[in-house]
Every structure is written in structure tokens, then in C-alpha cells.
Structure 1
Amino acid sequence: MRPRRADARRNYDQLIAAASAAFAREGADASLEEIARQAGVGSATLHRHFPSRQALLNAVFHGRVEALCQQAHELAEGADPGPALTIWLRALGAYVASTRGLASSLVPSTDNECHHMIVRAGDELLTRARAADAVRPEVSIDDLLTLVTAISMAVEHSPGENGSEAERLLGLAIDGIHPRPAG
């Protein structure tokens, strides 16, 4: 890809800033036309840079998702597999619950790079935890991500401290993925 002209780079940066603010305020369904207006560009410019809403969500949340993936890799290298997975799921849940719009950006779709990044990172932890018999064998990374995003989306519009509610609900879900006692 060739470097962008200065005006194109400025438009891109303004769109990212406007989208970040809009998603934080209104969630992932924020008006694309309003984002373009806030960035001081037309809708055509927004769509030239971001051909879909998902492409814009990917751009806005890429850095945050990358940090979560890095944490997963670090945990996979050192921590006990079962607790490592739990630590990462709690970190993911807390981050998604506190970042409005991020849960929607993790929903599976073919053009969702954020989702693909999280799946790869989480699967590394899950594979290790499964090998250590720290999670039930039928648990998949898609199951875990569905739980985290569903919980985050469920509390996103709740009044009050949705982070603690998300953490409580995620704790219940995490308890359910551990192997059942014999007998």
C-alpha cells in the first residue's frame, strides 16, 4: 500500500477520532453520517476510507484488541494454563464492558479483523487450558467469546456500574467452563 497524501491522512485521523467519540457515546450503531459530519468530511470520504461499518469499528478498536492479544500471548508463555485463561477472560470482559461499542466489534463476520485477532489469541490460551484439563473439553473459543460479548452487550445499556455487573456475570460463566467433579 502506498503512503497516503497529507490531506487523506488528516481525514482518516479525523474520522477515527470522531468515530471513537461517537462509539463511546452511542455504541457501535452510531450514525456514520454524523461521524463524517463531526470529522468535517463528507459521507463519500468516510466510505472511501472505510467501506463498511465493520471496517471503521476494526480501525477504531484495533489497538485495544492488539493489547488484549499481547496479554494473551504473555499469559500463554508463563502462567498456569487454567488461571491464565481465567485472567485473560476477566481482562477481556472488563475491557469490553467498559468500552462502549467494543462488544459489537467482536461479533463474528468475515471482515471482522478484531474478532479474528481475539479468536487466535484466546484459542492459544484455551488449547493450553484444555490440555491441562482445566476446562471442559467441549468448550470452544467461540463459546467463550460469545459469553463475554453477550454479557458485555447485556450490561452496556444498564444504569449504574455495568463493569461490576459484567464481572459478576462473567464469574458465573467461568465457573461453568471448569470440569465437573467425577461422580
Structure 2
Amino acid sequence: MGADDAKPLRADAARNRARLLECATTLFAERGVETSLDDVAKAAGVGIGTLYRHFPTRDDLVLAVYGAQIDALDQRSRELSTSEDPGAALREWMRGFVAFYAVKQGMVTLLRAMMNGSRSEHFQHTRETLRLAAERMLAPAIEAGVIRDDVAAPELLRALGGICLTSEPRSVSPESTLALVDLVYDGLRFGARAPATA
């Protein structure tokens, strides 16, 4: 746990932290491991000392970006799971997963090193959060009969992850990647059984 977690941040410090995370997210997605901490500080318009006060190490910054993306997917699943159109909500969440993976893909080398090190427990928690978010999206769509009932969260996440791993941002257009996501969604709809009516 970092110093930022010990007590609430002042408004200006909170703004700086949010700005650093926003810029780091963009730069990691665009440049991957080539991104330096100096790059992030400059993009955020703050000094390197300010960055180090919030994120003492590069690993701390990478984990904060990764965690923020997981939290966003989790929060979005909570918002969309109450939609009156669970099929459209599931499709929207699946498409949002692609944006998350673009960021993760830029940091994949750094993340892999941490997954096998002292931070491994952190990733167990985030994987579980992501699995529960996927289940939260699938359940209403299955119940409504808009997708097949033999799909589970791990399979959905593997399918989406496979699409993203083969969709290098510098060589594959976002439109092409989203088209593949839509193909997976169409596959989920094939064989769906509408609920019996009274």
C-alpha cells in the first residue's frame, strides 16, 4: 500500500494523481514499455518529483493504471447489468474490453514480470474481479434468452483476450478489432433459447 492510500488526498494532489494516471494510460497504450516516467510527468504537466510522490516506482504506476482499467470494467458491468436490453449491454461491455486490452497490451512485458513476482496476489484479485464482471454481464442476457446458455465467463474472457492479443494496435484498425468482437457476440446469440412465456 502506498502513501496515497493512508489518508485522503488534497484536491490538488488528487487532480495531479488523476492526471498522471490519465496520461500514463494513454502513453502505455501508444508506446508500451518505451514509455518513461519522465514522459508521463511531462504529459501530465507536473514535475518528476510529483510523480514519485504518488507512484514511488515504475511498478507502482503500472499497477495503478492496470487496476484503474479493471475497476472501470467492473463499474461499467454494474451499470450495464441493469439495462432493459441485456443483449445490447453485453455487446457494449465486450467492446469496452477491447479498449482495456489496448492499454494492457502496451504494458504486457512489465505486467508479466510482476505476475511472477511479489505482486502476484494483486493479479489474483484483479482476475477474480474481471471474472465476476463478465458473469454479471452474461447472466441477464442468458436469462432473457438473447444469448446461448452454455457459455461461461472464463470462455468469454478467453475469446475476447484472444482477439486482443492478435490485434496489434499499430497494424490492425480498431474497426477491424470491433468487427471480431461483434462476430463473437453473434456466436453467443446463435442457438439462444428464448424463455418460455406464461
Distance 1:11 1:71, change over 3 A: closer
- Give the conservation status (yes or no) of the 8 Å contact 1:15–1:35: no
Distance 1:118 1:30, change over 3 A: farther
Question: 5+ residue gaps in structure 2?
Answer: 1-5, 193-198
Match of 2:77 among 55, 65, 69: 69
Distance 1:30 1:115, change over 3 A: farther
C-alpha separation between the residues in 1 aligned to 2:24 and 2:61? 13
Q: After superposition, what is the alpha-carbon deviation per residue over 1:96-128, rounded to whole angstroms, capped at 9, x for unaligned? A: 4356315678x9974256654443333123233
C-alpha separation between the residues in 2 aligned to 1:32 and 1:57? 16
Show the 5 A alignment for 1:109-128.
110-112=121-123, 116-128=128-140
Distance 1:89 1:103, change over 3 A: farther
Mapped pair 1:159 → 2:192: no
Matched residue, 2:9? 4
Distance 1:103 1:177, change over 3 A: farther
Shift, 1:69, TM fit: 1.9
Q: After superposition, what is the alpha-carbon deviation per residue over 1:115-147, rounded to whole angstroms, capped at 9, x for unaligned? A: 54443333123233444563242x211211222
Matched residue, 2:179? 168
Q: Structure 2 length normalisation: TM-score?
A: 0.60
Shift, 1:19, TM fit: 0.7
- The letter of the residue matching 1:135 is R
Tell me the SS of whatever aligns to 1:54.
helix
C-alpha separation between the residues in 2 aligned to 1:53 and 1:101? 10
C-alpha separation between the residues in 2 aligned to 1:101 and 1:136? 31
- The letter of the residue matching 1:13 is A
C-alpha separation between the residues in 2 aligned to 1:57 and 1:40? 22
Match of 1:56 among 52, 65, 69: 65
- Give the conservation status (yes or no) of the 8 Å contact 1:55–1:111: no
Distance 1:14 1:136, change over 3 A: closer
Q: After superposition, what is the alpha-carbon deviation per residue over 1:54-91, rounded to whole angstroms, capped at 9, x for unaligned? A: 233223x367435522442222xx33xxxx2x423431
Percent identity, aligned pairs only, is 19
